[in-house]
Amino acid sequence: MGLLSLLIDNPAAFFLLAFPLLYSVIAHEIAHGLVASWFGDNTAKFAGRLSLNPIVHLDPIGTLMLFFVGFGWAKPVPVDYFNLKNSRWALISVSLAGCITNILIAAIAIYLLQSPIVNPNSVSSEILTRVAQINIILGAFNLIPIPPLDGSKVLMAFLPPEAQAGMARIEPYGFFIIIILLYTGLLYPVIDFLWKLIIGLISLTYIFL
């Protein structure tokens, strides 16, 4: 879901969209660092990565991918998992923090879209729709249990040490594996399932509103 068509059709909306999209990936990383600090690891804090300053977070390639492909990333927040208290629950919480943040951003965007304050035919509606879609994609993609994605760390929390070591060994090749699986189409059913799961979770939030 690239944004090239929006840039061509409505440049003003494209540039207005830049701020919420950049901070969607930044918020994802800050969430990892904040939750890690709650569990006793201040590595991200000492590295200056809990800042809202985009300069310390943005990855050039990840930023270009975000705007021209529809999925991108910021620089990963450093976490020293050996510092985490209650290690299994901490690992799960830190790993899910970014995805949950993206889901919350998408839920807020969808809520605003359904409110009377947003005209369905306005630029605001277009921006909120894109913010919701891309944050759901960010959440779904990161839940895939392939290193270095967040879902792999959640899975590792339930694996024996030998299997954890095996996943750690393939992490340097993880993005190549993901690209191959995307190219062959094998990941699309997984992404579709996670997309529907997130939509279901967002729908549940309206029960409590």
Residues that are catalytic? 29
Residue pair 45/80 in contact by the 8 Å Cβ criterion = no
DSSP, residue by residue, 14-66: HHHHHHHHHHHHHHHHHHHHHHHHHTT--HHHHTTTTS--GGGTB-HHHHHHH
- Amino acid, single-letter form, for residue 205: T
Residue 196 and residue 143 in contact, taking contact as beta carbons nearer than 8 Å: no
Q: Which two tokens stand for residue 14?
A: 């494209």
